[in-house]
A and B are shown apart, each in its own frame.
Chain A
Amino acid sequence: ETGVTQSPTHLIKTRGQQVTLRCSSQSGHNTVSWYQQALGQGPQFIFQYYREEENGRGNFPPRFSGLQFPNYSSELNVNALELDDSALYLCASSLWGLGRGSYEQYFGPGTRLTVT
């Protein structure tokens, strides 16, 4: 069974730039969620994708956007980067549709983004 993978591991960007983070979900999973974890805080839900469509969104501005591909992998795009976007970005995959909802989410190792 293949686990959740994310790339890149670390990234440094300049304020105002755009960034794309990638996530490959666990084998057999059809749902991907993205979280932002600032230093010293718990993760905050950004959005979730199910069957290539957004299926719920947290309190994040539109410059945070995403995609899910037919193979269930996903991208998180952030435009016009701000210093406060510096954080660990976590991707989690799950299998929606068997009555359990999304509670069994399996997380990847994360991408640490630094905005200078």
Chain B
Amino acid sequence: AQKITQTQPGMFVQEKEAVTLDCTYDTSDQSYGLFWYKQPSSGEMIFLIYQGSYDEQNATEGRYSLNFQKARKSANLVISASQLGDSAMYFCAMTTYSSASKIIFGSGTRLSIRP
């Protein structure tokens, strides 16, 4: 069975600081994808970044980077130079080759940026 674990229910960070959101995963599949979504209070899920299990380089998208440590089964999201608009819920998620029709989400981390 696949599982995503996010152990930080909430975080407060000062504006312009970097922040790391933790995510660990569990799957027996060798081929899988990991990604992060942002969900503002409006409810829409916004795709941030994707990392494939065979990708050798850590994924980066602007201020977002994914710290992929395959042996530890972790896929932490790093946001550099946080902004007030980064305040939202953040979900780590996974899809696997054997169940590619569905995305499994973690329970989320609520990030609050202080001015």
Contacts and interface: CB of A to CB of B under 8 A. Distances in A.
A90 B45 contact: yes
Interface string B2-38: 0010000000000000000000000000000101010
B105 interface: yes
Contact of A42 (B35, B50, B99, B108): B108
Interface in B53-96: 91, 93, 95
Contacts of B101: 33, 48, 50, 55-56, 102
Contact of B47 (A50, A55, A102, A106): A106
Contacts of B45: 43, 90, 92, 107
A55 B101 CA distance: 7
Contacts of B50: 103-104
B95 A88 contact: no
A101 B44 contact: no
Nearest to A42: B105
Contact of A56 (B97, B99, B107): B99
Interface band, chain B:
20 to 34
Interface in A62-116: 88, 90, 92, 101-110, 112
Given A42-B105, A43-B105, A110 B44 contact: yes
A107 B44 contact: yes
B97 to A, nearest CB: 7
A105 B43 contact: no
Given A48-B101, A101-B97, A102-B103, A42 B91 contact: yes
B47 A45 contact: no
B102 A101 contact: no
Contacts of A35: 103, 105
A101 B95 contact: yes
Interface of A: 33, 35, 41-45, 48, 50, 55-56, 58, 88, 90, 92, 101-110, 112
Instruction: Enumerate the 8 nearest inter-chain pairs by beta-carbon distance, A residue then B residue, closest first.
Output: A56-B101, A42-B105, A107-B45, A45-B102, A101-B100, A48-B101, A103-B33, A110-B43
